[in-house]
């Protein structure tokens, strides 16, 4: 297929595909799916070999969020029966993190519900970062606390944070359809604040909210423009009690095409399979490892995930290896400046050769716009796998051991 040959060549050169090429990936047929996976897999192996980075979520504060993000079980007005608790103490959070680290995780992601942190919240998280780093040599810590005010990213960096996550989630054109309490521009501003503070920026999307192929391409091109080091791809978990509870638009094949498109557009960044992989990829999860080089281990923020041991077995059985703490995730050209998330000459997700550029707080899955298009038929209500959506009842905020 000429399209795939072109995309592989561009990916190996870190060259931006055209919008038409990205859309064409999403429009490929199921008959061509394995060819698409194999082609994107070549790009993945060029920059990341067969390594899989493991990340572990700690939900520092769950539920009771004043924002109205339609996809989120922690949103204002949600009736989902999730765990609700206020801030974990630093020793509690460090203990929760230790479970994931002992299971092989390299990065701990500290997440808190809410619009954004107060200065006192930043102090709390800073103490937690220091506690985790003191007890775990070589661990990476990413914070995900919502919209940042001036100076807060610098304070997190000074406390030892390596990265900051804030997802764009969907295209700018459809953002107002899923959230009204803040704007797309607010999210872009927070990612830029993280960059400016020297933090490794982490920003991704949520697929399955009823968006079109054009919306998916728009948000991924926008992410390339923002130049994050890692791009988490969430697949909507349709929680009962949220406005998007009936949105079952994804098939395993569509999920793989989305991941392949992200890899072609952002060839040399950490592409992470995040929330919803068990719900929507299901038995096709091992194929997704040929596209993404990073996953979350165990449970998510408010939902239960595959057992940590099953994740490790899946990685080994698929012929991949867990990335060690002594290994650098990103290719050398993205880390040449020496810092976590530094970029040679300002080059980013693909190097923006020729001046090419792109368009303009995580999903509940973290590890959490309307009208589907594309050639693959959307899933229907009859395909809804509500049996795979399980509310987290263990780990952080409970007395039960985590699933790591």
Domain CATH for 75: 3.20.20.70
For the ranges 19-33, 41-55, 76-90, 283-297, the lowest mean pLDDT is seen at 76-90
Q: Tell me how far CA of residue 320 lies from CA of 50, 317, 363, in angstroms.
A: 5, 7, 27
Annotated binding site: which residue ranges? 65, 69, 72, 109, 142, 202, 272
Whether the per-residue pLDDT at 86 is higher than 60: the answer is yes
Residue 300 lies in a domain: yes
Averaged pLDDT for residues 144-162: 98
What pLDDT is attached to residue 75?
Answer: 84
Contacts of 380 (CB under 8 A, 6+ apart): 248
Residue 399 lies in a domain: no
Residue 401 lies in a domain: no
Instruction: Look at the chain and report how many structural domains it folds into.
Output: 1
Q: Tell me how far CA of residue 207 lies from CA of 92, 212, 232, 247, 373, in angstroms.
A: 33, 10, 11, 11, 12
Contacts of 134 (CB under 8 A, 6+ apart): none
Residue 105 lies in a domain: yes
What pLDDT is attached to residue 379?
Answer: 60
Whether the per-residue pLDDT at 371 is higher than 60: the answer is no
Whether the per-residue pLDDT at 299 is higher than 80: the answer is yes
Annotated binding site for [2Fe-2S] cluster: which residue ranges? 109, 142, 202, 272
Confidence (pTM): 0.90
What is the average pLDDT score of the chain?
A: 88
Residue 402 lies in a domain: no
Averaged pLDDT for residues 259-274: 98
What pLDDT is attached to residue 134?
Answer: 94
Annotate 54-82 with b (16+ C-beta within 10 A) or e (fewer). bbbbbbbbbbebebbbbbbbbbeebebeb
Cα separation of 200 and 339, whole Å?
8
Whether the per-residue pLDDT at 340 is higher than 50: the answer is no
Residue 218's pLDDT band (cuts 50, 70, 90): very high
Find the Cα–Cα–Cα–Cα dihedral 85, 89, 92, 94, rounded to 10°.
120
What pLDDT is attached to residue 229?
Answer: 98
To which residue do tokens 């931006």 refer? 16
Give me the active site residues, please: 65, 69, 72, 109, 142, 202, 272
Residue 174 lies in a domain: yes
For the ranges 20-24, 203-207, 236-240, 338-342, the lowest mean pLDDT is seen at 338-342
What pLDDT is attached to residue 337?
Answer: 53
Annotated binding site for [4Fe-4S] cluster: which residue ranges? 65, 69, 72
Percent of the chain, pLDDT > 70? 89
Helix, strand, coil percent content, the chain, rounded in steps of 5: 40, 15, 45
Residue numbers of the domain that contains 12: 2-388
Residue 398 lies in a domain: no
Residue 53 lies in a domain: yes
User: pLDDT higher for 303 or 185?
Assistant: 185
Residue 10, classed as helix, strand or coil, is helix
pLDDT digits (tens, 9 = 90+) for 103-118: 999 999 999 999 999 9
Averaged pLDDT for residues 217-221: 98
Cα separation of 403 and 115, whole Å?
28
Averaged pLDDT for residues 321-339: 86
What pLDDT is attached to residue 345?
Answer: 36
Percent of the chain, pLDDT > 90? 72
């Amino acid at each position: 297929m000429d399209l795939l040959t072109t995309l592989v060549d561009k990916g190996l050169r870190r060259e931006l595909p055209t919008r038409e090429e990205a859309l064409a990936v999403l429009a490929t047929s199921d008959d061509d799916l394995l060819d698409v996976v194999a082609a994107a897999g070549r790009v993945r192996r060029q920059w990341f070999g067969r390594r899989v980075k493991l990340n572990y979520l700690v939900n520092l504060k769950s539920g009771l969020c004043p924002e109205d993000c339609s996809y989120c079980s922690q949103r204002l007005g949600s009736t989902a029966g999730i765990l609700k608790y206020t801030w974990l103490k630093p020793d509690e959070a460090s203990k929760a993190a230790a479970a994931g680290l002992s299971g092989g995780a390299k990065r701990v992601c500290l997440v808190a519900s809410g619009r954004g942190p107060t200065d006192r919240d930043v102090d709390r998280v800073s103490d937690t970062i220091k506690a985790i780093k003191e007890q775990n040599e070589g661990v990476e810590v990413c914070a995900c606390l919502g919209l940042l005010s001036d100076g807060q990213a610098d304070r997190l960096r000074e406390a030892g944070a390596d990265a900051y996550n804030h997802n764009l989630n969907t295209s700018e054109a459809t953002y107002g359809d899923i959230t009204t309490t803040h704007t797309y521009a607010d999210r872009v501003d927070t990612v830029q604040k993280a960059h400016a503070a020297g933090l490794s920026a982490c920003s991704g999307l949520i697929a399955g909210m009823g968006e079109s192929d054009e919306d998916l391409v728009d948000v991924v091109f926008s992410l390339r423009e923002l130049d994050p080091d890692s791009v988490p791809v969430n697949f909507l978990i349709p929680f009962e009690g949220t406005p998007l509870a009936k949105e079952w638009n994804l098939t395993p094949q569509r999920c793989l095409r989305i991941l392949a498109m992200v890899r072609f557009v952002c060839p040399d960044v950490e592409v992470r399979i995040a929330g919803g992989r068990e719900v929507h990829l299901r038995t096709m999860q091992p194929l997704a490892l040929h596209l993404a080089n990073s996953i979350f281990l165990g449970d998510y923020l408010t939902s239960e995930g595959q057992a940590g041991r099953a994740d490790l077995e899946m990685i080994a059985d698929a012929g991949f290896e867990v990335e060690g703490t002594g290994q650098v995730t990103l290719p050398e050209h993205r880390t040449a400046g020496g810092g976590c998330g530094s970029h040679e000459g300002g080059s980013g997700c693909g190097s923006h050769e020729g001046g090419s550029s792109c368009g303009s707080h995580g999903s509940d899955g973290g590890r959490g716009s309307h009208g589907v298009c594309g050639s693959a038929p959307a899933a229907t209500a009859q395909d809804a796998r509500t049996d795979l959506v399980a509310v987290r009842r263990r780990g952080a905020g409970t007395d039960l051991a985590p699933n790591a």
